[in-house]
């Protein structure tokens, strides 16, 4: 199970590329850079354009540019725009999908975890994802993302 859909994952790749090219880029460039289908990239760019993350320019020097700086867009905002949000469980947020919600003893705790994850995602900007702080291996919010076996080998 992934918290991020494939659409959001690829949208992050596309937006990262555009963030690095302030003059913009086209679907072909992005597709070539990441080895993706041009049509697939074009479809995601169309959605990103419709949702107000990028704008398109026609012509010889046409392509797509980000509408707002990466520092102004949260990961939660992108996920909600492309996937109508995320749901940790069928009962979060309140939903009629779970037949046991009326008697579920963990519903409140799961709802709290869901809320906490959303709060974290709201606090992470695209700039945090595209330009992690610190040394190699340091990632979002300063968390060490080096694999545990590499940490042990370094000792």
Q: CATH no. for residue 17?
A: 1.10.10.10
Burial class (CB in 10 A: 0-12, 13-18, 19+), 80: middle
Domain interval for residue 69: 1-86
Residue 121: inside a domain, yes or no?
no
Cα 33 to the center of its chain, rounded Å: 19
Residue 140: inside a domain, yes or no?
no
Q: Which two tokens stand for residue 153?
A: 């080998």
Residue 76: inside a domain, yes or no?
yes
Write down the pTM of the prediction. Answer: 0.77
What is the Cα–Cα distance from 134 to 58, expressed in whole angstroms?
39
Residue 67: inside a domain, yes or no?
yes
Number of domains in the chain: 1
Reported as a single tens digit per residue, the pLDDT across 92-147 is 655 566 777 778 888 888 888 888 988 999 999 999 999 887 645 444 554 444 44
């Amino acid at each position: 199970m992934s918290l991020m859909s494939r659409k959001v994952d690829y949208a992050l790749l596309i937006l990262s590329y555009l963030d690095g090219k302030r003059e913009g880029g086209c679907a072909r460039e992005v597709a070539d850079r990441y080895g993706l289908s041009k049509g697939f990239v074009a479809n995601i760019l169309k959605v990103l354009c419709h949702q107000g993350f990028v704008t398109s320019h026609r012509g010889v020097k046409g392509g797509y540019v980000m509408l707002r700086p990466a520092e102004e867009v949260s990961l939660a905002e992108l996920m909600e725009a492309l996937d109508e949000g995320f749901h940790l469980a069928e009962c979060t947020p309140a939903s009629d999908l779970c037949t046991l919600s009326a008697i579920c003893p963990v519903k409140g705790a799961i709802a709290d975890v869901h809320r906490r994850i959303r709060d974290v995602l709201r606090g992470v900007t695209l700039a945090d994802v595209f330009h992690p702080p610190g040394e190699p291996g340091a990632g979002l919010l300063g968390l060490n993302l080096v694999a545990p076996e590499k940490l042990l080998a370094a000792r």
